[in-house]
Structure 1
Amino acid sequence: MIHENLESGDSVSEYSKHTTAVEWIEMGYLGVISSQQDALNKPGHIIDYGCGPGFFAAYLAEEYKQKITGVDISQEMINHCENEYKNTDLSFYQVGENKLAFAENNSIDGVVSCYVLMQIPSHDEQIAICEEIYRVLKPGAKFTMLTMNPAYTGVQFDFLRNGDVDRVYSAGEKMTTELQTDHGTLELEDVYWPTQYYLNAFSRAGFSHIKCVEHCPAFGDNQDKAQFLIVEGIKAE
Protein backbone atom coordinates (compact mmCIF):
# COMPACT_ATOMS: atom_id res chain seq x y z
CA MET A 1 0.00 0.00 0.00
CA ILE A 2 1.26 3.46 -0.82
CA HIS A 3 2.13 5.62 2.18
CA GLU A 4 0.14 8.82 2.64
CA ASN A 5 3.25 10.95 2.15
CA LEU A 6 3.81 9.44 -1.32
CA GLU A 7 0.70 10.39 -3.25
CA SER A 8 2.00 12.16 -6.38
CA GLY A 9 3.12 10.42 -9.55
CA ASP A 10 6.74 11.46 -8.96
CA SER A 11 6.60 10.12 -5.39
CA VAL A 12 5.15 6.81 -6.57
CA SER A 13 8.02 6.47 -9.04
CA GLU A 14 10.54 7.28 -6.31
CA TYR A 15 8.95 4.76 -3.93
CA SER A 16 9.01 2.06 -6.61
CA LYS A 17 12.65 2.80 -7.43
CA HIS A 18 13.70 2.37 -3.80
CA THR A 19 11.64 -0.71 -3.00
CA THR A 20 12.73 -2.60 -6.10
CA ALA A 21 16.40 -1.74 -5.45
CA VAL A 22 16.57 -3.96 -2.35
CA GLU A 23 16.45 -7.76 -2.09
CA TRP A 24 12.74 -7.50 -1.40
CA ILE A 25 12.05 -11.23 -1.68
CA GLU A 26 14.20 -11.68 1.44
CA MET A 27 12.14 -9.15 3.42
CA GLY A 28 9.77 -11.78 4.79
CA TYR A 29 8.05 -12.46 1.46
CA LEU A 30 9.33 -16.04 1.32
CA GLY A 31 7.42 -16.67 4.54
CA VAL A 32 4.25 -15.34 2.92
CA ILE A 33 4.75 -17.71 -0.01
CA SER A 34 5.26 -20.62 2.39
CA SER A 35 2.08 -19.69 4.28
CA GLN A 36 0.04 -19.64 1.05
CA GLN A 37 1.71 -22.66 -0.56
CA ASP A 38 -1.43 -24.80 -0.68
CA ALA A 39 -3.40 -22.09 -2.48
CA LEU A 40 -0.53 -21.24 -4.81
CA ASN A 41 -0.03 -24.83 -5.93
CA LYS A 42 -3.49 -25.19 -7.46
CA PRO A 43 -5.50 -23.00 -9.86
CA GLY A 44 -7.18 -20.13 -8.08
CA HIS A 45 -7.51 -16.41 -7.48
CA ILE A 46 -5.19 -14.60 -5.05
CA ILE A 47 -5.48 -10.97 -3.94
CA ASP A 48 -2.45 -8.87 -2.99
CA TYR A 49 -4.05 -6.31 -0.67
CA GLY A 50 -1.96 -3.14 -0.71
CA CYS A 51 0.09 -4.20 -3.72
CA GLY A 52 2.14 -1.00 -3.95
CA PRO A 53 4.27 -0.99 -7.13
CA GLY A 54 3.10 -4.51 -7.94
CA PHE A 55 6.37 -6.46 -7.78
CA PHE A 56 5.05 -9.18 -5.44
CA ALA A 57 1.83 -9.65 -7.41
CA ALA A 58 3.89 -9.95 -10.59
CA TYR A 59 6.25 -12.45 -8.95
CA LEU A 60 3.36 -14.64 -7.80
CA ALA A 61 1.74 -14.55 -11.23
CA GLU A 62 4.99 -15.50 -12.95
CA GLU A 63 6.10 -18.22 -10.54
CA TYR A 64 2.75 -19.85 -9.84
CA LYS A 65 0.63 -19.03 -12.89
CA GLN A 66 -2.21 -17.87 -10.66
CA LYS A 67 -4.89 -15.31 -11.32
CA ILE A 68 -3.50 -12.45 -9.25
CA THR A 69 -5.31 -9.22 -8.46
CA GLY A 70 -3.44 -6.34 -6.87
CA VAL A 71 -5.37 -3.69 -4.97
CA ASP A 72 -4.23 -0.43 -3.42
CA ILE A 73 -5.79 2.67 -1.91
CA SER A 74 -3.70 4.93 -4.18
CA GLN A 75 -4.95 5.53 -7.71
CA GLU A 76 -1.47 6.80 -8.62
CA MET A 77 -0.03 3.45 -7.56
CA ILE A 78 -2.66 1.55 -9.54
CA ASN A 79 -1.84 3.69 -12.59
CA HIS A 80 1.83 2.79 -12.14
CA CYS A 81 1.02 -0.94 -11.93
CA GLU A 82 -1.26 -0.89 -14.96
CA ASN A 83 1.47 0.78 -17.00
CA GLU A 84 4.30 -1.40 -15.67
CA TYR A 85 2.43 -4.68 -16.19
CA LYS A 86 0.18 -3.79 -19.12
CA ASN A 87 1.35 -6.80 -21.15
CA THR A 88 0.49 -9.35 -18.44
CA ASP A 89 -2.67 -11.00 -17.15
CA LEU A 90 -2.45 -9.14 -13.84
CA SER A 91 -5.48 -7.12 -12.72
CA PHE A 92 -5.33 -4.03 -10.52
CA TYR A 93 -8.08 -2.15 -8.67
CA GLN A 94 -8.23 0.85 -6.40
CA VAL A 95 -9.95 0.11 -3.10
CA GLY A 96 -12.29 2.73 -1.67
CA GLU A 97 -13.25 2.68 2.00
CA ASN A 98 -11.37 -0.64 2.26
CA LYS A 99 -14.01 -2.39 0.14
CA LEU A 100 -13.13 -5.10 -2.37
CA ALA A 101 -16.13 -4.23 -4.53
CA PHE A 102 -15.02 -6.41 -7.46
CA ALA A 103 -15.03 -9.61 -5.37
CA GLU A 104 -18.11 -11.59 -4.37
CA ASN A 105 -18.59 -13.31 -1.03
CA ASN A 106 -16.66 -16.58 -0.63
CA SER A 107 -14.90 -16.22 -4.00
CA ILE A 108 -11.15 -15.80 -3.32
CA ASP A 109 -8.64 -18.60 -2.71
CA GLY A 110 -6.13 -16.58 -0.70
CA VAL A 111 -5.21 -13.04 0.34
CA VAL A 112 -1.76 -11.67 1.12
CA SER A 113 -1.03 -8.24 2.55
CA CYS A 114 2.52 -7.02 3.07
CA TYR A 115 3.43 -4.01 5.22
CA VAL A 116 -0.11 -2.61 5.10
CA LEU A 117 -1.68 -2.91 8.55
CA MET A 118 1.39 -1.21 10.03
CA GLN A 119 0.38 1.92 8.10
CA ILE A 120 -3.20 2.01 9.34
CA PRO A 121 -3.75 4.74 11.99
CA SER A 122 -6.84 3.19 13.60
CA HIS A 123 -7.31 -0.26 15.12
CA ASP A 124 -10.98 -0.15 14.10
CA GLU A 125 -9.86 0.33 10.49
CA GLN A 126 -7.49 -2.62 10.80
CA ILE A 127 -10.44 -4.73 11.94
CA ALA A 128 -12.60 -3.44 9.06
CA ILE A 129 -9.91 -4.41 6.53
CA CYS A 130 -9.68 -7.90 8.00
CA GLU A 131 -13.48 -8.22 7.96
CA GLU A 132 -13.62 -7.34 4.27
CA ILE A 133 -10.88 -9.83 3.48
CA TYR A 134 -12.78 -12.46 5.48
CA ARG A 135 -15.92 -11.72 3.45
CA VAL A 136 -14.33 -12.45 0.07
CA LEU A 137 -12.30 -15.51 1.06
CA LYS A 138 -13.66 -18.96 0.39
CA PRO A 139 -14.33 -21.08 3.49
CA GLY A 140 -11.07 -22.75 4.46
CA ALA A 141 -8.96 -20.15 2.65
CA LYS A 142 -6.15 -18.26 4.36
CA PHE A 143 -5.24 -14.62 4.91
CA THR A 144 -1.52 -13.98 5.40
CA MET A 145 -0.20 -10.66 6.66
CA LEU A 146 3.46 -9.58 6.70
CA THR A 147 4.76 -6.73 8.82
CA MET A 148 7.85 -5.55 10.64
CA ASN A 149 8.16 -7.24 14.02
CA PRO A 150 7.18 -4.61 16.62
CA ALA A 151 9.46 -6.34 19.14
CA TYR A 152 12.44 -4.94 17.22
CA THR A 153 11.25 -1.39 16.67
CA GLY A 154 14.26 0.94 16.61
CA VAL A 155 16.77 -1.79 15.69
CA GLN A 156 18.95 -0.98 12.67
CA PHE A 157 18.93 -3.84 10.20
CA ASP A 158 20.94 -4.08 6.99
CA PHE A 159 19.02 -1.46 4.99
CA LEU A 160 15.98 -0.65 7.09
CA ARG A 161 15.05 0.71 10.50
CA ASN A 162 11.49 0.86 11.73
CA GLY A 163 11.12 3.60 14.37
CA ASP A 164 13.71 5.66 16.23
CA VAL A 165 16.52 4.09 18.23
CA ASP A 166 15.90 3.82 22.01
CA ARG A 167 12.40 5.27 21.74
CA VAL A 168 9.38 3.64 23.36
CA TYR A 169 6.19 3.92 21.31
CA SER A 170 2.57 3.61 22.37
CA ALA A 171 0.00 1.67 20.35
CA GLY A 172 -1.24 3.80 17.46
CA GLU A 173 1.68 6.25 17.63
CA LYS A 174 3.24 7.39 14.36
CA MET A 175 6.84 6.44 13.69
CA THR A 176 9.33 6.89 10.87
CA THR A 177 10.70 4.02 8.82
CA GLU A 178 13.99 4.57 6.99
CA LEU A 179 14.81 2.49 3.91
CA GLN A 180 18.39 2.83 2.69
CA THR A 181 19.27 1.78 -0.87
CA ASP A 182 21.76 2.69 -3.58
CA HIS A 183 19.34 5.50 -4.47
CA GLY A 184 19.64 7.11 -1.03
CA THR A 185 17.36 7.12 2.01
CA LEU A 186 13.58 6.93 1.76
CA GLU A 187 11.61 8.01 4.85
CA LEU A 188 8.13 6.56 5.33
CA GLU A 189 5.50 7.24 7.96
CA ASP A 190 4.19 4.12 9.69
CA VAL A 191 2.30 3.37 12.90
CA TYR A 192 3.43 1.35 15.90
CA TRP A 193 1.11 -1.55 16.70
CA PRO A 194 2.07 -4.28 19.19
CA THR A 195 1.54 -7.83 17.97
CA GLN A 196 -1.65 -8.34 19.97
CA TYR A 197 -3.41 -5.67 17.90
CA TYR A 198 -2.84 -7.66 14.72
CA LEU A 199 -4.02 -10.84 16.41
CA ASN A 200 -7.10 -9.06 17.71
CA ALA A 201 -7.95 -7.70 14.25
CA PHE A 202 -7.84 -11.23 12.84
CA SER A 203 -9.91 -12.60 15.71
CA ARG A 204 -12.53 -9.85 15.56
CA ALA A 205 -12.93 -10.45 11.82
CA GLY A 206 -13.77 -14.10 12.46
CA PHE A 207 -10.56 -15.90 11.51
CA SER A 208 -9.62 -19.14 13.24
CA HIS A 209 -6.34 -21.04 13.58
CA ILE A 210 -4.58 -17.69 13.97
CA LYS A 211 -0.84 -17.89 14.44
CA CYS A 212 2.30 -15.76 14.33
CA VAL A 213 5.53 -16.77 12.66
CA GLU A 214 8.73 -14.76 13.14
CA HIS A 215 11.44 -14.56 10.48
CA CYS A 216 15.04 -13.38 10.81
CA PRO A 217 16.79 -11.49 7.99
CA ALA A 218 18.83 -13.65 5.61
CA PHE A 219 21.78 -11.26 5.45
CA GLY A 220 23.34 -8.19 7.05
CA ASP A 221 23.46 -7.18 10.69
CA ASN A 222 21.28 -8.64 13.45
CA GLN A 223 20.49 -11.91 11.69
CA ASP A 224 19.69 -13.37 15.12
CA LYS A 225 16.74 -10.98 15.53
CA ALA A 226 13.31 -11.74 14.06
CA GLN A 227 12.88 -8.63 11.92
CA PHE A 228 9.71 -9.84 10.21
CA LEU A 229 6.38 -10.99 11.60
CA ILE A 230 3.79 -13.03 9.73
CA VAL A 231 0.24 -13.43 11.01
CA GLU A 232 -2.10 -15.87 9.32
CA GLY A 233 -5.68 -16.96 9.85
CA ILE A 234 -8.19 -19.26 8.16
CA LYS A 235 -11.81 -18.57 7.28
CA ALA A 236 -14.09 -21.09 8.96
CA GLU A 237 -15.46 -23.84 6.71
Structure 2
Amino acid sequence: MTAESTEIISYLEPSIADDYRNWDDSASWLLGYSFLPLALGLDRLPDTRLLDLGCGPGEVTRWLADRCNARITAVDTSPTMIALADEHAPHERVEYRLSEDGRLSFLADGEMDSAMACFLFTCVDGEDQIREIITEVARVVRPGGRFTILVPNPDQVSGAVFEGFKRGEDGARYEPGELMPVEVQRTDGSWTTIKNRYWNRDTYRTALAKAGFEGPVKELAPVLADTEGVADPALRGDRAWERERTAAPFLLLTATR
Protein backbone atom coordinates (compact mmCIF):
# COMPACT_ATOMS: atom_id res chain seq x y z
CA MET A 1 0.00 0.00 0.00
CA THR A 2 1.74 3.17 -1.16
CA ALA A 3 0.48 6.74 -1.12
CA GLU A 4 0.59 8.82 -4.27
CA SER A 5 -0.03 12.24 -2.74
CA THR A 6 -1.01 13.91 0.52
CA GLU A 7 -3.31 16.94 0.65
CA ILE A 8 -6.21 18.40 2.57
CA ILE A 9 -9.24 17.15 0.69
CA SER A 10 -11.33 19.75 -1.09
CA TYR A 11 -13.97 18.72 -3.56
CA LEU A 12 -14.06 22.30 -4.82
CA GLU A 13 -10.93 21.37 -6.78
CA PRO A 14 -12.06 19.81 -10.10
CA SER A 15 -9.22 17.25 -10.17
CA ILE A 16 -10.18 15.88 -6.74
CA ALA A 17 -13.90 15.84 -7.56
CA ASP A 18 -13.19 13.97 -10.79
CA ASP A 19 -10.91 11.48 -9.06
CA TYR A 20 -13.53 10.81 -6.36
CA ARG A 21 -15.61 8.82 -8.85
CA ASN A 22 -12.69 6.39 -9.23
CA TRP A 23 -12.38 5.59 -5.53
CA ASP A 24 -13.28 2.09 -4.40
CA ASP A 25 -16.42 2.67 -2.30
CA SER A 26 -17.39 -0.99 -1.85
CA ALA A 27 -17.28 -0.71 1.94
CA SER A 28 -19.31 2.50 1.92
CA TRP A 29 -22.08 0.84 -0.05
CA LEU A 30 -22.14 -2.43 1.90
CA LEU A 31 -21.83 -1.02 5.43
CA GLY A 32 -22.90 2.59 5.04
CA TYR A 33 -25.25 3.73 2.28
CA SER A 34 -27.34 0.54 2.40
CA PHE A 35 -28.42 1.40 5.95
CA LEU A 36 -29.69 4.91 5.14
CA PRO A 37 -33.31 3.82 4.40
CA LEU A 38 -33.39 1.98 7.74
CA ALA A 39 -31.94 4.88 9.72
CA LEU A 40 -34.23 7.45 8.09
CA GLY A 41 -37.33 5.25 8.12
CA LEU A 42 -37.79 5.88 4.40
CA ASP A 43 -39.61 2.61 3.78
CA ARG A 44 -42.46 3.95 5.92
CA LEU A 45 -42.56 7.34 4.18
CA PRO A 46 -43.73 6.96 0.57
CA ASP A 47 -43.02 9.94 -1.67
CA THR A 48 -40.95 11.54 1.09
CA ARG A 49 -39.12 14.83 0.55
CA LEU A 50 -35.46 14.20 1.35
CA LEU A 51 -32.53 16.60 1.55
CA ASP A 52 -29.17 15.10 0.54
CA LEU A 53 -26.55 17.50 1.87
CA GLY A 54 -23.13 17.07 0.27
CA CYS A 55 -24.49 14.85 -2.51
CA GLY A 56 -21.23 14.61 -4.45
CA PRO A 57 -21.58 12.97 -7.88
CA GLY A 58 -25.09 11.76 -7.09
CA GLU A 59 -24.84 7.96 -7.18
CA VAL A 60 -26.29 7.54 -3.69
CA THR A 61 -28.93 10.19 -4.40
CA ARG A 62 -30.13 8.40 -7.51
CA TRP A 63 -30.15 5.02 -5.73
CA LEU A 64 -32.31 6.38 -2.91
CA ALA A 65 -34.72 8.01 -5.35
CA ASP A 66 -35.31 4.58 -6.91
CA ARG A 67 -35.04 2.49 -3.75
CA CYS A 68 -37.40 4.58 -1.62
CA ASN A 69 -39.47 6.46 -4.19
CA ALA A 70 -38.18 9.66 -2.58
CA ARG A 71 -38.25 13.18 -3.99
CA ILE A 72 -34.78 14.51 -3.30
CA THR A 73 -33.17 17.91 -3.24
CA ALA A 74 -29.46 17.16 -3.53
CA VAL A 75 -27.04 19.92 -2.59
CA ASP A 76 -23.30 20.41 -2.86
CA THR A 77 -20.91 23.36 -2.63
CA SER A 78 -18.70 21.98 -5.43
CA PRO A 79 -19.71 23.07 -8.95
CA THR A 80 -17.77 20.12 -10.36
CA MET A 81 -19.69 17.65 -8.20
CA ILE A 82 -23.04 19.13 -9.25
CA ALA A 83 -21.98 18.98 -12.90
CA LEU A 84 -20.96 15.32 -12.48
CA ALA A 85 -24.28 14.52 -10.79
CA ASP A 86 -26.28 16.23 -13.53
CA GLU A 87 -24.36 14.31 -16.18
CA HIS A 88 -24.00 10.86 -14.62
CA ALA A 89 -26.85 10.55 -12.09
CA PRO A 90 -29.91 12.34 -13.49
CA HIS A 91 -33.29 11.27 -12.11
CA GLU A 92 -36.81 12.57 -12.55
CA ARG A 93 -37.32 12.79 -8.78
CA VAL A 94 -33.97 14.47 -8.04
CA GLU A 95 -33.08 18.15 -8.23
CA TYR A 96 -29.38 18.97 -7.92
CA ARG A 97 -28.64 22.40 -6.45
CA LEU A 98 -25.40 24.30 -5.92
CA SER A 99 -25.04 26.03 -2.56
CA GLU A 100 -22.49 28.78 -2.98
CA ASP A 101 -22.48 29.92 0.63
CA GLY A 102 -23.40 26.67 2.41
CA ARG A 103 -26.90 28.03 3.01
CA LEU A 104 -30.16 26.46 1.85
CA SER A 105 -31.87 29.72 0.96
CA PHE A 106 -33.82 28.01 -1.83
CA LEU A 107 -35.65 25.85 0.75
CA ALA A 108 -38.44 27.08 3.01
CA ASP A 109 -38.69 26.39 6.74
CA GLY A 110 -39.90 22.84 7.34
CA GLU A 111 -40.04 22.02 3.63
CA MET A 112 -38.23 18.67 3.90
CA ASP A 113 -39.48 15.50 5.58
CA SER A 114 -35.96 14.28 6.34
CA ALA A 115 -32.31 14.93 5.60
CA MET A 116 -28.99 13.14 5.39
CA ALA A 117 -25.31 14.05 5.13
CA CYS A 118 -22.87 11.34 4.05
CA PHE A 119 -19.18 11.84 4.84
CA LEU A 120 -19.65 15.61 4.72
CA PHE A 121 -18.22 16.73 8.03
CA THR A 122 -14.75 15.22 7.59
CA CYS A 123 -14.23 18.08 5.12
CA VAL A 124 -15.43 20.81 7.51
CA ASP A 125 -12.69 22.72 9.30
CA GLY A 126 -14.32 23.78 12.57
CA GLU A 127 -17.00 22.90 15.10
CA ASP A 128 -18.68 26.28 14.59
CA GLN A 129 -19.10 25.46 10.90
CA ILE A 130 -20.55 22.05 11.73
CA ARG A 131 -23.08 23.69 14.04
CA GLU A 132 -24.02 26.27 11.40
CA ILE A 133 -24.62 23.55 8.81
CA ILE A 134 -26.72 21.43 11.17
CA THR A 135 -28.70 24.47 12.31
CA GLU A 136 -29.59 25.18 8.69
CA VAL A 137 -30.67 21.56 8.24
CA ALA A 138 -32.88 21.90 11.32
CA ARG A 139 -34.53 24.94 9.77
CA VAL A 140 -35.61 23.13 6.60
CA VAL A 141 -36.66 19.80 8.18
CA ARG A 142 -40.23 19.62 9.46
CA PRO A 143 -40.96 18.83 13.14
CA GLY A 144 -40.75 15.07 13.60
CA GLY A 145 -38.43 14.66 10.62
CA ARG A 146 -35.19 12.72 10.88
CA PHE A 147 -31.63 13.74 10.08
CA THR A 148 -29.03 11.01 9.56
CA ILE A 149 -25.31 11.70 9.53
CA LEU A 150 -23.13 8.96 8.02
CA VAL A 151 -19.52 9.31 9.17
CA PRO A 152 -16.35 7.24 9.55
CA ASN A 153 -16.52 5.45 12.86
CA PRO A 154 -14.58 7.69 15.31
CA ASP A 155 -13.54 4.55 17.23
CA GLN A 156 -11.73 3.14 14.20
CA VAL A 157 -8.55 5.17 13.72
CA SER A 158 -4.86 4.70 14.58
CA GLY A 159 -4.10 2.74 11.42
CA ALA A 160 -7.43 0.90 11.13
CA VAL A 161 -7.39 -1.04 7.84
CA PHE A 162 -10.64 -1.93 6.08
CA GLU A 163 -11.44 -3.06 2.56
CA GLY A 164 -10.37 -0.18 0.33
CA PHE A 165 -9.07 2.28 2.91
CA LYS A 166 -6.91 2.87 5.98
CA ARG A 167 -7.65 5.56 8.58
CA GLY A 168 -4.95 7.31 10.55
CA GLU A 169 -1.33 6.57 11.27
CA ASP A 170 -0.40 3.44 13.22
CA GLY A 171 -0.62 4.08 16.95
CA ALA A 172 -1.63 7.73 16.60
CA ARG A 173 -4.38 9.38 18.62
CA TYR A 174 -6.48 12.22 17.24
CA GLU A 175 -8.30 15.09 18.88
CA PRO A 176 -11.50 16.66 17.46
CA GLY A 177 -10.69 18.86 14.51
CA GLU A 178 -7.23 17.40 13.97
CA LEU A 179 -6.16 16.47 10.46
CA MET A 180 -5.88 12.73 9.89
CA PRO A 181 -4.41 10.94 6.85
CA VAL A 182 -6.65 8.47 5.06
CA GLU A 183 -5.31 6.09 2.42
CA VAL A 184 -7.93 5.35 -0.23
CA GLN A 185 -7.84 2.68 -2.92
CA ARG A 186 -9.04 3.39 -6.43
CA THR A 187 -10.96 0.91 -8.56
CA ASP A 188 -7.82 0.31 -10.65
CA GLY A 189 -5.94 -0.86 -7.55
CA SER A 190 -3.81 2.28 -7.07
CA TRP A 191 -3.84 4.23 -3.83
CA THR A 192 -3.97 7.90 -2.92
CA THR A 193 -3.68 9.65 0.44
CA ILE A 194 -5.96 12.47 1.52
CA LYS A 195 -6.44 14.31 4.79
CA ASN A 196 -9.74 14.52 6.65
CA ARG A 197 -10.77 16.20 9.88
CA TYR A 198 -11.33 13.86 12.81
CA TRP A 199 -14.55 14.48 14.76
CA ASN A 200 -15.89 12.39 17.65
CA ARG A 201 -19.44 11.53 18.71
CA ASP A 202 -19.70 14.47 21.10
CA THR A 203 -19.04 16.91 18.26
CA TYR A 204 -22.09 15.70 16.37
CA ARG A 205 -24.30 15.17 19.41
CA THR A 206 -23.61 18.67 20.72
CA ALA A 207 -24.28 20.27 17.34
CA LEU A 208 -27.52 18.33 16.90
CA ALA A 209 -28.78 19.31 20.36
CA LYS A 210 -27.92 22.99 19.91
CA ALA A 211 -29.70 23.02 16.54
CA GLY A 212 -32.93 21.79 18.08
CA PHE A 213 -32.92 18.09 17.26
CA GLU A 214 -34.68 16.56 20.23
CA GLY A 215 -34.54 13.24 22.03
CA PRO A 216 -31.82 10.60 22.02
CA VAL A 217 -29.51 10.31 19.04
CA LYS A 218 -29.78 6.78 17.66
CA GLU A 219 -26.67 4.99 16.46
CA LEU A 220 -26.09 2.29 13.86
CA ALA A 221 -22.60 0.83 13.58
CA PRO A 222 -23.03 -2.03 11.08
CA VAL A 223 -20.68 -4.99 10.85
CA LEU A 224 -20.80 -7.69 8.19
CA ALA A 225 -23.48 -9.82 9.88
CA ASP A 226 -25.83 -6.81 9.99
CA THR A 227 -25.95 -6.62 6.21
CA GLU A 228 -28.15 -9.73 5.95
CA GLY A 229 -31.55 -8.61 4.70
CA VAL A 230 -30.41 -4.99 4.40
CA ALA A 231 -27.69 -4.76 1.77
CA ASP A 232 -27.64 -6.36 -1.65
CA PRO A 233 -25.63 -9.62 -1.24
CA ALA A 234 -23.82 -8.84 -4.49
CA LEU A 235 -22.09 -5.94 -2.71
CA ARG A 236 -19.95 -8.44 -0.80
CA GLY A 237 -18.30 -9.55 -4.03
CA ASP A 238 -15.28 -11.81 -3.55
CA ARG A 239 -13.54 -9.70 -0.90
CA ALA A 240 -12.49 -11.09 2.48
CA TRP A 241 -14.16 -8.47 4.72
CA GLU A 242 -12.06 -9.70 7.63
CA ARG A 243 -11.96 -6.66 9.93
CA GLU A 244 -15.53 -5.74 8.97
CA ARG A 245 -16.77 -8.91 10.68
CA THR A 246 -16.03 -7.51 14.14
CA ALA A 247 -15.35 -3.78 13.67
CA ALA A 248 -17.73 -1.23 12.15
CA PRO A 249 -15.98 1.11 9.71
CA PHE A 250 -18.86 3.61 9.72
CA LEU A 251 -21.38 5.14 12.08
CA LEU A 252 -24.87 6.41 11.34
CA LEU A 253 -26.21 8.99 13.81
CA THR A 254 -29.91 9.81 13.54
CA ALA A 255 -31.72 12.58 15.38
CA THR A 256 -35.34 13.74 15.24
CA ARG A 257 -36.40 17.34 14.73
Q: What TM-score do the two structures reach when normalised by structure 2? A: 0.83
Residue in structure 1 matched with residue 198 of structure 2 by the alignment: 192
Q: Check if 1:168 corresponds to 2:173.
A: yes
Whether the 8 Å CA contact 1:40–1:66 is kept in 2: the answer is: no
Bigger mean CA offset, 127-136 vs 89-98:
89-98
Residue in structure 2 matched with residue 211 of structure 1 by the alignment: 217
Residue in structure 2 matched with residue 59 of structure 1 by the alignment: 63
Amino acid at match of 1:168: R
> CA offset at residue 101 of structure 1?
1.4
State the SS of the aligned residue for 1:133: helix
Q: Check if 1:107 corresponds to 2:111.
A: yes
CA distance in 2, matches of 1:209, 1:42: 24
CA distance in 2, matches of 1:193, 1:228: 13
Amino acid at match of 1:213: E
Whether the 8 Å CA contact 1:214–1:227 is kept in 2: the answer is: no
Bigger mean CA offset, 130-139 vs 85-94:
85-94
- Number of matched residues? 232
Residue in structure 1 matched with residue 242 of structure 2 by the alignment: 221
Q: What TM-score do the two structures reach when normalised by structure 1? A: 0.90
Bigger mean CA offset, 87-96 vs 192-201:
87-96
Whether the 8 Å CA contact 2:176–2:200 is kept in 1: the answer is: yes
> CA offset at residue 87 of structure 1?
5.8
CA distance in 1, matches of 2:65, 2:34: 15
Whether the 8 Å CA contact 1:39–1:109 is kept in 2: the answer is: no
The percent of aligned pairs where both chains have the same amino acid is 22
Give unmatched runs, 5+ long, in structure 2. 1-7, 225-239
Whether the 8 Å CA contact 2:24–2:187 is kept in 1: the answer is: no
State the SS of the aligned residue for 2:23: helix
Give the 4+ runs in structure 1 shifted more than 4 A. none
Whether the 8 Å CA contact 2:145–2:256 is kept in 1: the answer is: yes
CA-based RMSD of the aligned residues comes to 2.0
Amino acid at match of 1:205: A
